[in-house]
Amino acid sequence: MRKFKVVNNITPSVDGKGIMMGRAVFTDDLAAQNSLVLKVLRSPHAFAHIRDIDTSEAEKYPGVACILTYKNVPHVPFTRAGQGYPEPSPHDKFVLDEYVRYVGDEVAVVAAEDEETALEAMKLIKVDYEVLEPVLDFEKAMDNESVIHPEDKIHEMFPIGFEPKRNIATAYEMEVGNVEEELAKCDYVVDETFYTQAQAHAMMEPHASNARLDEHNRLVVYSTTQTPFHMRRIICKTLGLPVDKVRVIKPRVGGGFGGKQAFHGEMFVSLVTLRTNRPSKLVYTREEVFGSSYTRHPMRIALRIGANKDGKIQAIDCRALSDTGAYGEHALTVFMIVGSKVLPLYNKVKAVRFGGKVVYTNHVPAGAYRGYGAIQGNYALESTIDMLAKKMGMDPIELREINSMKEKETSPIFEIMGEGTEGTAMIMESCKLPYCIKRGRELMNWDEKYPVKQVGPHKVRSVGCAIAMQGSGIPFLDMGSCTIKLNDGGSYMVTVGATDIGQGSDTIISQIVAEELGTTMDKIIIYSSDTDLTPYDCGAYASSTTYVSGNAAYNAAVKMRERLIKEAAQELKVKPDLVEFDGKTFTSGDKSVTLEDLSTGRLYNNDTHQIAVTESFHGHVSPPPFMAAFGEFEFDTETYEYKMVKYVTITDCGTTINPMLARGQVEGGVIQGYGMASSEEVLYTPNGKLVSDNFDMYHIPTVKEVGELVTEFADSYEPTGPFGAKSVGEIGIDTPPAVLCNAVYNAFGVRIHSLPITPQKIFEAMKEKK
């Protein structure tokens, strides 16, 4: 394997210092001083029709600049999902509508001189609601009498099984072989059903946006977005603006996790600024972040898995029902990932089936969230695999070793299932899953600890394991690009559309460029995600940044190197293939010129012209990263309270471009997944109001709940990735629910079929067992 100088080395992040020192770089830090402040009036009802809305009093309130309601905004259906075009999500949302479909849905927007004025004026808005019967049980949503989207204008962009009159946002079915026949022939069949909750992203920076008009009278929107280019397109289409009149800038983003792929207020600041000619801003309150953005899709997943006495899994049947809440954002694509990035783990089956429906309810909408269906599917699959092992009297690790994906293998699922469309066949050019399992087992000291050990009078420690996979971007769709411009003095200005949302993409892209150009990190200046100044990128989602944007950066750097060698050859009056370049000096025999001299000469006095290149990349495959995870937990046998003792993960993400940032992605993912597994409980009132809309009710892990994290990477190389890399942003989150669920089983012999796994649920399962 190639020896690297910058890539795969310990390299500090390019932005860490400035951020720790408190520089004003986040979206709301950059809002114009005299911005109008926007506040959103939200629905108190889970489902209602607005008969009328009267804003006349509020408009007269001193300091109010503008009020938006459904009566005075464009009535064009769109999706907030923030996806490519055409979107696989139904266009079922209006900027403002005469229906409100969940508690927290937008009714009106008040723009005023300050927050207090906006809030006071808001009290003067009179809304006449016709309250409708809400649908709050997703298992009763389909064909319910209450139709959540009765309006006519809404539509799908291409066939996704959209049947709004039946409360179905989308549906999907696939089958390879004949599942029923194969299951009937199996020596063992297990049949288990699991429920997952509407996890909240809970990124520390709330959603924020602000807008202003520039000196060309163009609209400039700053947003905490993961997808600035999609945002520009969607703002323009929905508000009827030409693309050349809008600029979207993504400043530093304080965590996204999928939650900031979507629109949350950008339409409002755009409209207010266009109407008032004033800068405006909107920052979500924490309650709005929880209750009025979007969540993970809650699901019911039923699995049947059949195997024979020889330990070989023969067939998997997965039926799922997903709750997309009031709007169908990411409804189809998240749903499909439950199958497509989970079931191929066991690729040697004779038959596999996946399908079901995604239904509308009057809950907070669901959308993209790190893991994106894979965490839901993984919880169900990896729990059921343990049940199967138990039934077969087999060791759960051995069952996984026999049946899981290996290098150079494939799964028919890849070809059938893509993201909302057909997929792409691919062979696993890199898959070190067997190593990951073996190494993790060692590091956990599994054979000593499995299944459970008494460690005190009322304390036991048990272990659980799970394996996982994800993807690296969406083949043929996701595109990233990169421009490199040579500065005098021999440094490079790198501009990319790739969206750094805290995961470190600015750093890894700089590393990739520095590596290929043989230079050091201090010679790279990176600027990202500004629709005016950087080339296009689809954005930060689907674990695409390292693989897709990284490959674009790599391609651009290769092209720049070629270009530089040509320029140097001219300078030295030799043929390009006789020129060597070590990153600093071009040499040919006894002639040489430094990059510093060449670059300065080209700008000031010697055949002057700008040297710059632009390249882009889209994948033909989406090589999955793989992981094996092993968790150890300590339980109180009287109260069933528990804590994480240790969590071991071994990840195959190809080359780690930045080993420390890769570790951060895995560990951050693990703890977010552990929150979903253990403590992040979603509570609604009977009327459909989200109660867990603050950090006191919705408990995300604190430093106190984190056990020892042991994080290693397999020595792996993905031939299609930049310097052998695959993506690593999501996979960390996938395993904790199944790992914890399996550990609970190993401790007490009870299976918890819903998340989060609370002491209360263990207690109740124990009562039932007795």
Partner 1 sequence: MLVKFNLNGLEKEVNVKANEYLLDTLRSIGVKSVKKGCNASSCGVCTVLLDDKPVLSCSILTVRVAGHKVETVESIQEEAAKLSECFSKEGADQCGYCNAAFALMVHALRKENPNPSAEEIKEYLKGNLCRCTGYQSQQKAIRAYLGGEEK
Contacts with ligand FES by CB under 6 A lie at 204, 254-255, 502
128 binds, among ligand FES, partner 1, none (CB under 5 to 8 A by kind): none
**Smallest separation, CB 500 to ligand FES (Å):** 12
CA distance linking residue 434 with residue 431, whole number of Å:
8
695 binds partner 1 (CB under 8 A): yes
For residue 318, the cross-strand partners are 303, 354
Name the residue nearer to ligand FES (CB basis): 164 or 254.
254
Instruction: Round to whole Å and give the CA distance between 84 and 478.
Output: 8
Instruction: Yes or no: say if 202 and 700 are a contact pair by the CB < 8 Å rule.
Output: yes
Radius of gyration of the chain (CA): 27
Residue 594 binding: pick among ligand FES, partner 1, none (C-beta 5-8 Å cut-off by kind): none
- Which of ligand FES, partner 1, none interacts with 684 (beta carbon under 5 to 8 A by kind)? none
Distance CA 16, CA 8 (A): 18
253 sits near partner 1 (criterion: CB under 8 A): yes
Count residues binding partner 1 (CB under 8 A): 57
Structure tokens at 407: 């290098």
- Please name the residue ranges forming H helices in 404-474: 412-416, 433-444, 446-449
The amino acid sitting at 273 is T
Residues in region 705-724 near partner 1 by CB under 8 A: 706, 708-709
Q: Which is nearer to ligand FES, 395 or 667 (CB)?
A: 667
Integer angstrom CA distances of residue 597 from 367, 566, 573: 52, 15, 16
Query: Closest distance between partner 1 and the C-beta of residue 671, in Å?
Result: 4
b/e map of 472-498 (b: 16 or more CB within 10 Å)?
A: bbbbebbbbbbbbbbeeebbbebbbbb
Among residues 267 and 700, whose Cβ is nearest to ligand FES?
A: 700
Q: Which is nearer to ligand FES, 371 or 724 (CB)?
A: 371
Q: Two tokens at 76?
A: 């064009």
- Quote the CA–CA distance of 425 and 439 in Å, as a whole number: 29
Residue matched to tokens 């530093």: 252
User: How far apart are the C-alpha atoms of 441 and 436, rounded to whole Å?
Assistant: 8
Q: Does 686 bind partner 1 (CB under 8 A)?
A: no
Which residues lie closer than 8 Å to 87 by C-beta, 6 or more apart? 79, 81, 157
CB of 529 to ligand FES, least distance (A): 17
Instruction: Tell how strand 48-54 and strand 126-131 pair up.
Output: antiparallel
Closest CB 291 distance from partner 1, rounded Å:
13
Residue 281 vs 300, nearer CB to ligand FES: 281
One character per residue 79-118, x = contact with partner 1 (rule: CB under 8 A): -------------------------------------x--
d(CA 323, CA 298): 5
Q: Which does 661 bind (CB under 5 to 8 A by kind): ligand FES, partner 1, none?
A: partner 1
Residue span binding partner 1 (CB under 8 A) among the ranges 65-73, 247-255, 514-522, 559-567 = 247-255
Using the rule CB under 8 A, is 34 a contact of partner 1? no
Backbone angles phi, psi at 398, to 5 degrees: -65, -40
With CB cut-offs between 5 and 8 Å by kind, which of partner 1, ligand FES, none does residue 173 bind? none
Q: For partner 1, give the closer residue by CB, 40 or 171.
A: 40
Does 15 help bind partner 1 (rule: CB under 8 A)?
Answer: yes
Residue 310, interface with partner 1 (CB under 8 A)? no
Cβ distance to partner 1 smaller for residue 15 or 401? 15
- Tokens 């022939």: give the residue: 185
Shortest reach from residue 669's CB to ligand FES, in Å: 13
In DSSP notation, 533-581 reads TS--B--S-TT-IIIIIHHHHHHHHHHHHHHHHHHHHHHHTS-GGG-EE
Draw the binding track, 463-502, toward partner 1 (x: CB under 8 A; -: no contact).
Answer: --------------------------------------xx
| CA pseudo-torsion sign 457, 463, 464, 470 | positive
Ranges within 642-671 binding partner 1 (CB under 8 A): 659-664, 667-671
Least spacing, CB of residue 155 vs partner 1, in Å: 36
The answer to the question of residue 62 lying near partner 1 (CB under 8 A) is no
Q: Kindly indicate which of the ranges 254-262, 373-381, 540-548, 608-616 contains the residues binding partner 1, using the contact rule CB under 8 A.
A: 254-262
The beta strand positions in 262-377, using DSSP E, are 280-283, 299-307, 313-325, 351-360
Nearer to ligand FES, 204 or 425 (CB): 204
Q: Does 370 bind partner 1 (CB under 8 A)?
A: no
Contacts with partner 1 by CB under 8 A lie at 10, 12-13, 15-17, 19-24, 26, 28-29, 116, 201-206, 252-255, 257, 283, 285-286, 501-504, 659-664, 667-672, 694-696, 700-704, 706, 708-709
